[in-house]
C-alpha cells in the first residue's frame, strides 16, 4: 500500500497502459516547506519509480500525452517554473516568481491537445488573461487568447476528441468561450431549454455516446446536474444540490462597484430579501475569509441566502487584497490588515447606506477567519457603523499567527512565517507597532457591542487560543458576549449538527440585536 499522503494527478493522456502518475506529500527542510514527490505507478504490480528532479516541488503538470513536462519548485520565497524538454530530456527554467505572493510574469495552466502550453499572465489592462506560451523561444504570446473584461481569467480548457473546443471561464458568473461553432450552437439549444440560468456544458473527453453533462444554476437556483442527449435534444436531471430549496423563495444577488475613500474601485456583492423589499433594511456586512481569495460570485450562496431569507440585506465587499478583480486591487492589500482593507469594509457599509439598501441604525458585521478579524476590527475601529458582530474561527491577533502559544498547533509552515506573512501581513519585528495598532486582542476594551464568538477546538489554521484570549479580554468590559466551541471541528463547520446549531445562534442573535422588521 502506498502512503496515505499519495494522491492522483489530473492526467488526460491516452490512458492505454498500466501506468499512472501519482504525487506523494512530504515536508522537507528547516522551513518545513511542503513538497510533492512525483511517482510513476504500475497499477498492476504496485511498484513505483520516482521522477528525479532536485528541489522542493510545489506543482507537477503532465502534458497532453500524460507525461511529466512542468514542475514548479520553491527555494526560500522564489518559485521556479521548470520545463522538461522532450527533445533533450533536460529540465530548463522558464521563469521565476514570488512563491508566496504569486506575483510573477505568468503561471502555467495546462497543455492543449496539440502540445501547446497555455499560461495565465497579466494583460495590458492589469488583469490576468489566457495566453499561449512559445516554448521554443521561452515567451508569452503577444495577444491573449481569452480576456475577461474587469475580471482575472480563471478557468480551464474544454477538450474532446483531442480537439480544443472552448474555454471554461469565470467572470461575474461562470461561462464558456466556445471556439467550436457546433458547441456554440448546442449552447444556444440548452440555454433555451433552461432559461434564466447559467448552463455549463461538459462534453466527454472520449465520447462513446451522445450524452453530455450540464450544470445549471442561478443566484436563486442551487446547482442542478443534467445529461443532454445531442441526438434527441432532451435533458434528464440526475441530481441537484440542496433539493429542498425553492428558487421563488430566494433573494436576488448582484454585483456592484463603488469608490473607496482613496479612489480605488471596489466590487461588492448585494443579496436582497425575496419579495421585492430592497430599501432601508436591517443589513449584514459579511466579510469573506482568505483574505487573498475571491469572496463572491453570481450563484446561489447558502450563507447569504440564509440571511436574506430572514429579511436582511447582505453586503459582501471584495476589499483590496481580494483576487479575481485585477492586479491593482490585489496588490493594494499588501500589509493592509486593519488599515485600508478595513477602510474598504467601512466604505462598503456607508455605500450601502447611501444607496438606501441598509438602515444605518440596524447594521451588523460578520465573517469567518480573516472575515472574523475584520469583524472585530470593524467593531473597534468603526463603532458608529455596527450595532453588533458575529464571527467564527476568526484571527484575533496577527502575532498569534506567528506563535499561537503553548499547547496549540498551527499549520503555518516556517517558510510561510519567514517569507510570506511578513511581506503580505506584516513583520513581527519591523512592523511591530503596526501589528499592535491593528490587533483586535489589544483593542478588545473598545468593543462594547453585542458579540457572538465561535471556534473549533481542533482548528490548526486559527488555533483556539485566538478565541480564548480574545474572549477573556473582551468580557472585562463587555457583558454581551456569547461564546461557543465545537469540539469536533477545525477551521469551519463540517458536521451538519454544528452548522445548524451555529446558524440558529446567528439567527437569534441578529433578531435580538437589529431585528428583521
Judge whether residue 31 has pLDDT over 80.
Answer: no
**Average pLDDT of the residues of the chain:** 95
- Report, as an integer, the average pLDDT of 285-294: 97
Residue 494: which pLDDT band, with cuts at 50, 70 and 90?
A: very high
Residues 505, 508, 513, 517, CA torsion sign: positive
Q: Is 249 left (phi over 0), alpha (psi -120 to 50) or beta?
A: alpha
Judge whether residue 32 has pLDDT over 80.
Answer: no
Q: What is the pLDDT of residue 16?
A: 84
H helices present in 117-163, as ranges: none
Strand order across the beta sheet in which 155-160 lies: 155-160, 163-170, 174-178
Measured CA to CA, the distance from residue 446 to residue 477 in angstroms comes to: 8
Confirm if 420 and 402 have CB atoms less than 8 A apart.
no
> Class for domain 250-513, per CATH?
alpha beta
Measured CA to CA, the distance from residue 161 to residue 472 in angstroms comes to: 62
Q: 330-387 pLDDT, tens per residue?
A: 999 999 999 999 999 999 999 999 999 999 999 999 999 999 999 999 999 999 999 9
Q: Which residue has the higher pLDDT, 432 or 2?
A: 432
- Report, as an integer, the average pLDDT of 15-44: 85
Confirm if 327 and 316 have CB atoms less than 8 A apart.
no
Beta partners for residue 155, in sequence order = 169
Strand order across the beta sheet in which 117-122 lies: 106-111, 117-122, 128-134, 139-140
pTM over 0.85: yes
Q: 156-191 pLDDT, tens per residue?
A: 999 999 999 999 999 999 999 999 999 999 999 999
- Report, as an integer, the average pLDDT of 223-238: 96
Of 282, 285, 286, give the one whose Cα is nearest residue 360: 282
Q: What are the residue boundaries of the structural domains of the chain, listed by start?
A: 1-115, 250-513
Judge whether residue 517 has pLDDT over 70.
Answer: no
Q: What is the pLDDT of residue 56?
A: 84
Considering the chain, what percentage of its residues have pLDDT values greater than 90? 88
Measured CA to CA, the distance from residue 114 to residue 128 in angstroms comes to: 23
Confirm if 316 and 269 have CB atoms less than 8 A apart.
yes
Distances (CA, A) of 112 to 106, 131, 143, 418, 494: 17, 12, 17, 37, 37
Q: Please count the other Cβ atoms lying within 10 Å of the Cβ belonging to residue 18.
A: 9
Residue 206: which pLDDT band, with cuts at 50, 70 and 90?
A: confident
Measured CA to CA, the distance from residue 358 to residue 385 in angstroms comes to: 11
Residue 197: which pLDDT band, with cuts at 50, 70 and 90?
A: very high
* Chain centroid to CA 425: 18
Q: 428-461 pLDDT, tens per residue?
A: 999 999 999 999 999 999 999 999 999 999 999 9
Considering the chain, what percentage of its residues have pLDDT values greater than 70? 99
Strands 281-287 and 358-368, bridge-based pairing: parallel
Judge whether residue 221 has pLDDT over 90.
Answer: yes
Judge whether residue 28 has pLDDT over 70.
Answer: no
Confirm if 483 and 471 have CB atoms less than 8 A apart.
yes
Beta partners for residue 40, in sequence order = 21, 49
Amino acid at each position: 500500500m502506498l502512503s496515505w499522503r499519495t494522491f492522483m494527478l489530473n492526467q488526460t493522456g491516452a490512458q492505454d497502459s498500466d501506468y499512472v502518475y501519482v504525487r506523494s506529500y512530504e515536508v522537507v527542510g528547516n522551513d518545513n516547506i511542503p513538497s510533492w514527490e512525483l511517482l510513476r505507478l504500475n497499477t498492476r504490480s504496485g511498484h513505483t519509480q520516482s521522477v528525479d528532479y532536485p528541489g522542493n516541488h510545489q506543482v507537477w503538470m503532465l502534458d497532453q500525452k500524460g507525461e511529466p513536462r512542468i514542475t514548479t519548485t520553491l527555494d526560500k520565497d522564489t518559485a521556479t517554473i521548470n520545463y522538461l524538454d522532450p527533445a533533450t530530456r533536460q529540465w530548463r527554467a522558464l521563469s521565476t516568481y514570488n512563491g508566496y505572493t504569486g506575483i510573477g510574469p505568468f503561471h502555467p495552466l495546462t497543455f492543449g491537445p496539440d502540445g501547446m502550453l497555455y499560461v495565465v499572465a497579466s494583460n495590458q489592462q492589469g488583469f490576468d488573461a489566457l495566453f499561449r506560451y512559445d516554448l521554443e523561444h521561452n515567451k508569452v504570446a503577444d495577444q491573449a487568447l481569452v480576456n475577461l473584461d474587469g475580471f482575472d481569467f480563471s478557468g480551464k480548457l474544454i477538450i474532446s476528441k483531442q480537439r480544443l473546443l472552448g474555454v471554461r471561464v469565470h467572470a461575474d458568473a461562470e461561462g464558456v468561450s466556445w471556439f467550436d461553432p457546433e458547441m456554440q450552437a448546442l449552447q444556444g439549444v440548452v440555454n433555451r431549454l433552461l432559461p434564466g440560468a447559467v448552463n455549463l456544458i461538459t462534453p466527454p473527453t472520449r465520447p462513446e455516446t451522445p450524452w453530455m453533462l450540464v450544470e445549471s444554476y442561478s443566484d436563486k437556483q442551487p446547482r442542478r446536474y443534467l445529461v443532454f442527449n445531442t441526438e434527441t435534444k432532451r435533458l434528464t436531471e440526475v441530481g441537484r444540490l440542496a433539493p429542498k430549496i425553492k428558487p421563488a423563495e430566494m433573494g436576488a444577488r448582484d454585483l456592484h462597484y463603488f469608490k473607496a475613500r482613496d479612489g480605488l474601485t471596489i466590487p461588492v456583492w448585494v443579496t436582497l430579501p425575496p419579495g421585492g423589499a430592497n430599501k432601508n433594511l436591517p443589513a449584514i456586512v459579511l466579510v469573506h475569509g482568505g483574505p487573498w481569495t475571491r469572496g463572491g460570485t453570481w450563484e446561489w450562496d447558502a450563507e447569504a441566502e440564509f440571511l436574506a431569507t430572514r429579511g436582511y440585506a447582505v453586503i459582501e465587499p471584495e476589499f483590496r487584497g481580494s483576487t479575481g478583480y485585477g492586479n491593482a486591487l490585489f496588490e493594494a492589500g499588501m500589509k493592509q490588515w486593519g488599515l485600508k482593507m478595513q477602510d474598504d469594509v467601512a466604505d462598503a457599509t456607508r455605500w450601502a447606506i447611501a444607496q438606501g439598501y441598509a438602515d444605518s441604525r440596524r447594521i451588523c458585521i460578520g465573517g469567518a477567519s480573516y472575515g472574523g478579524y475584520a469583524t472585530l476590527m470593524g467593531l473597534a475601529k468603526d463603532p458608529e457603523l455596527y450595532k453588533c458582530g458575529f464571527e467564527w474561527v476568526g484571527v484575533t491577533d496577527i502575532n498569534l499567527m506567528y506563535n499561537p502559544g503553548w499547547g496549540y498547533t498551527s499549520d503555518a509552515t516556517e517558510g510561510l512565517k519567514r517569507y510570506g506573512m511578513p511581506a503580505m501581513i506584516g513583520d513581527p519585528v519591523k512592523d511591530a507597532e503596526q501589528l499592535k495598532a491593528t490587533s483586535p486582542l489589544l483593542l478588545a476594551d473598545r468593543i462594547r457591542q453585542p458579540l457572538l464568538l465561535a471556534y473549533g477546538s481542533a482548528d490548526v489554521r486559527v488555533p483556539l487560543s485566538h478565541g480564548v484570549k480574545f474572549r477573556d479580554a473582551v468580557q472585562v468590559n463587555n457583558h454581551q458576549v456569547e461564546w461557543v466551541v465545537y469540539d469536533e471541528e477545525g477551521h469551519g463547520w463540517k458536521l451538519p449538527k454544528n452548522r445548524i446549531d451555529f446558524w440558529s445562534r446567528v439567527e437569534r442573535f441578529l433578531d435580538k440585536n437589529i431585528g428583521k422588521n
